[in-house]
């Protein structure tokens, strides 16, 4: 499956250069996705990527072009999904998270309802973007000058 159906895009403005935002994503995402809850959830749904090689649990990097794009992809019993971070701007950045996913079969449709239809996906991605923004803006100014 190369092209996955579009789910949503969420965007936040970050008051630092794109390079700082990109570095923050590279540092933060693997840590968040390696927690006990994420690991247990990934095993429960049968995720193909269980966080080996310090990658985020449930994902692997399919494209990285610093400082503007980082695309993660994953799959499990109920879904094939992609989360793409896109960063635009110079002194101030606009960070977008695009989600695409397919939910094959009846169990996939039920999973989509539980995750997308309930709003849980939107909340999780918004919290992730908010944390990236907070940490990037807290970066010492000598690194923010890049």
Are 46 and 77 in contact by the 8 Å Cβ rule? The answer is yes
* pLDDT value at 46 more than 80: no
How much of the chain exceeds pLDDT 90, in percent? 65
Q: Burial of 60 by CB count in 10 Å (0-12 exposed, 13-18 middle, 19+ buried)?
A: middle
pLDDT bracket for residue 39 (50, 70, 90): confident
Tens digits of per-residue pLDDT, 130-143?
999 999 999 876 55
Are 128 and 32 in contact by the 8 Å Cβ rule? The answer is yes
Q: What's the sign of the alpha-carbon dihedral 97, 102, 107, 113?
A: positive
Least-confidence region, from 14-18, 93-97, 126-130, 137-141: 137-141
Q: For tokens 């939910």, what's the residue?
A: 103
Average pLDDT over residues 97-120: 96
Least-confidence region, from 48-52, 96-100, 111-115: 48-52
**Domain 6-138, what architecture?**
2-Layer Sandwich (3.30)
Peptide linkage before 67 cis (omega within 30 of 0): yes
pLDDT bracket for residue 1 (50, 70, 90): very low
User: How many other CB atoms are found less than 10 A from the CB of residue 115?
Assistant: 19
- First and final C-alpha spacing in the chain: 38
* pLDDT value at 34 more than 90: no
């Amino acid at each position: 499956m190369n092209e996955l159906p579009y789910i949503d895009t969420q965007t936040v403005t970050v008051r630092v250069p794109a390079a700082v935002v990109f570095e923050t994503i590279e540092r933060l995402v693997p840590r968040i996705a390696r927690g006990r809850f994420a690991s247990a959830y990934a095993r429960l749904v049968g995720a193909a990527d269980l966080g080996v090689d310090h990658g985020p649990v449930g994902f692997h990097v399919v494209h990285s072009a610093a400082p503007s794009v980082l695309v993660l992809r994953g799959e499990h019993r109920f879904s094939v999904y992609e989360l793409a971070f896109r960063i635009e701007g110079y002194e101030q950045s606009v960070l977008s998270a695009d989600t695409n996913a397919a939910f094959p079969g009846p169990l996939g449709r039920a999973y989509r309802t539980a995750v997308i239809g309930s709003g849980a996906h939107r909340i999780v991605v918004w919290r992730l973007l908010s944390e990236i923004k907070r940490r990037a803006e807290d970066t010492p100014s000598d690194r923010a000058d890049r």
